[in-house]
Amino acid sequence: MLLKSACLFGFGKPDTDDHELTLRITYEYHDAPTSGHPGREKTYLLLTRGFYSSHQYKWVRKCVRACEVCQRVKPAPYSQAPLRSLPTPLECWQSISMDFLFGLPPDNKRRTGIVASVDRFSKRMHLAAVPAEVKAKQTARLFVDMVLRHHGMPIDIVSDRDPRFTARFWQDLFTRLGTQLYMSTADQPQTDGQTKRANRVLVDALKSYAHSFHHWSDCPPMAAFAIKNSVHASTGHTPFYVNATRHLRVLSVLGAVAPSLSAGRQLDQRCRQLRCKAVGRCVDDIGLHGHGDVLPASGETCQKVQRSSLTTTSHPHR
């Protein structure tokens, strides 16, 4: 079938009858249920089976681009903007993430979920077992108990769009406190990948600790301890070390140090020598500044200084 451009695919101002015919043909090859809204190239190839026009490709491109259904259900053909990560906090507990993990078997108190608060700088987390009916006010109390009383008020909180985080009470509370709330896009868990990864590690730890389905709520403290004492790949240190600049004390370390009494005596003797040298240097420095009435340090002086340093503490004994 051969149709002229001015009759069927004219681009000027076609007649009403010609325009209606054009729409009918386009509908049959693009919008009909048997067509399934194909793209520009496929629609053009379908039309060329039975119709021809010098401006046929331009018309198909125009119709497909203006199709409302295609715009609504198909992704954009152009490249998207590059992904941008969340700003990195500068210190511990400046920025935290909160998330709920539900689907666990009910324990003795009918709790089926865990709320996790993770520091985005040190990766340290606090956990609490919660029931499925937990509300925004109860979540705020858990925030005060887990984060605020230990680490102060964070500058921002990253979370998903859980109904507890989108509640009016939660929004107004942190607006008054001056904390910024960053919420992820709906159905986009990649926005807060750190929390999703922390949830995965937590579930694996709970599986190794829990010996009964109804006693899993007794395991989060030990699971959190193990996670805080594990080296994190992003920081190269344990979360506890990043917070307190020291490692957690565990039983294996105590058992290795306790039998080594000779090493302890050698260490004590070495500390005495270093303290005596330090006292001597201090006396020499005072003498250089014109204090001629200060006597040089002797062994007896070092022993007195040592005894006084051992008996004097900055905190009272209980």
Give residue-wise pLDDT tens across range 95-124: 999 999 998 888 888 899 999 999 999 999
Highest-pLDDT range among 163-177, 213-227, 249-263, 295-309: 163-177
The crossing angle, in degrees rounded to 10, of helices 299-311 and 261-288 is 110
* Same domain flag for 234 and 267: no
Q: Give the residue among 309, 286, 307, 289 at the shortest CA–CA distance from 297.
A: 286
Q: Do 197 and 234 reside in the same domain of the chain?
A: yes
Domain containing residue 170: CATH number: 3.30.420.10
Does the residue 133 lie in any domain? yes
Give the pLDDT of residue 12.
Answer: 41
What contacts 99, CB < 8 A, 6 or more positions away?
Answer: 115, 116, 118, 159, 160, 162, 192, 195, 196, 198, 199
The pLDDT tens digits of the residues spanning 238-254 come to: 999 888 888 888 776 55
The answer to whether residue 81 sits within a structural domain is no
Does residue 227 lie within any of the structural domains? yes
Q: Let me know whether 55 and 105 are in one domain.
A: no
Select the highest-mean-pLDDT range: 134-148, 236-250, 261-275: 134-148
53-67, 126-140, 195-209, 303-317: least confidently modelled range: 303-317
For residue 46, the model assigns a pLDDT of 85
Q: Which of 95-99, 227-231, 269-273, 289-293 holds the top average pLDDT?
A: 95-99
How high is the pLDDT of residue 268? 66
Instruction: Provide the 8-state DSSP code for 142.
Output: H
What is the pLDDT, as a whole number, of residue 218? Answer: 85
- Which residue type occupies 33? P
Give the range of the structural domain holding residue 56, as residue numbers without chain letter.
16-73
**pLDDT bucket at 129, cuts 50 / 70 / 90:** very high
pLDDT at 138 over 80: yes
**What proportions of the chain, in percent to the nearest 5, are helix, strand and coil?**
50, 10, 40
Rounded Cα distance between 162 and 167, Å, is 9
Please count the structural domains in the chain.
3
pLDDT at 314: 46
Strand ranges (E), 111-155: 113-119, 125-130
61 and 162 housed in the same domain: no
Q: Please check whether residue 149 is in contact with residue 166, taking contact to mean a CB–CB distance below 8 angstroms.
A: no
pLDDT (average), residues 2-24: 50
Amino acid 311: pLDDT: 43
Q: Are 217 and 180 in contact (CB under 8 A)?
A: no
Instruction: Reply yes or no on whether the pLDDT at 40 is more than 50.
Output: yes
Contacts of 69 (CB under 8 A, 6+ apart): 31, 37
In a domain, 9, yes or no: no
pLDDT, position 172: 93
Same domain, 149 and 183: yes
- Residue 250 lies inside a defined structural domain of this protein: no
Compare 4 and 67 and report the one with higher pLDDT. 67
- Looking at the fold, whether 187 and 227 belong to one and the same domain comes out as yes
What type of residue is 217? S
Give 317's pLDDT tier (boundaries 50, 70, 90).
very low
- Range 165-176 average pLDDT: 92
Domain limit, last residue, from 187, 211, 244? 244
Q: Which of 30-39, 215-224, 230-239, 264-273 has the lowest mean pLDDT?
A: 264-273
Same domain, 191 and 113: yes
Cα dihedral 148→152→155→161 (10° resolution): -10
Whether 86 is covered by a domain: the verdict is: no
Quote the pLDDT of residue 78: 66
Task: Give the pLDDT confidence score for residue 63 in this predicted structure.
Answer: 85
- Residues 45, 167, single domain; the answer is no
Give the tens place of pLDDT for each residue, 146-157. Answer: 999 999 999 999
Q: Which long-range contacts (CB under 8 A, 24 or more apart) does 175-182 make?
A: 177/153, 178/153, 179/153, 179/154, 179/155, 180/155, 180/156, 181/156, 181/157, 182/86, 182/156, 182/157, 182/158
46 lies in the same domain as 136: no
Does residue 66 or residue 169 have the better pLDDT?
Answer: 169
Q: Does residue 2 lie within any of the structural domains? A: no
- Report the 10 Å Cβ neighbour count for 11: 13
Q: Is residue 233 part of a domain?
A: yes
Which whole number is the average pLDDT over 231-237? 86
Let me know whether 195 and 240 are in one domain.
yes
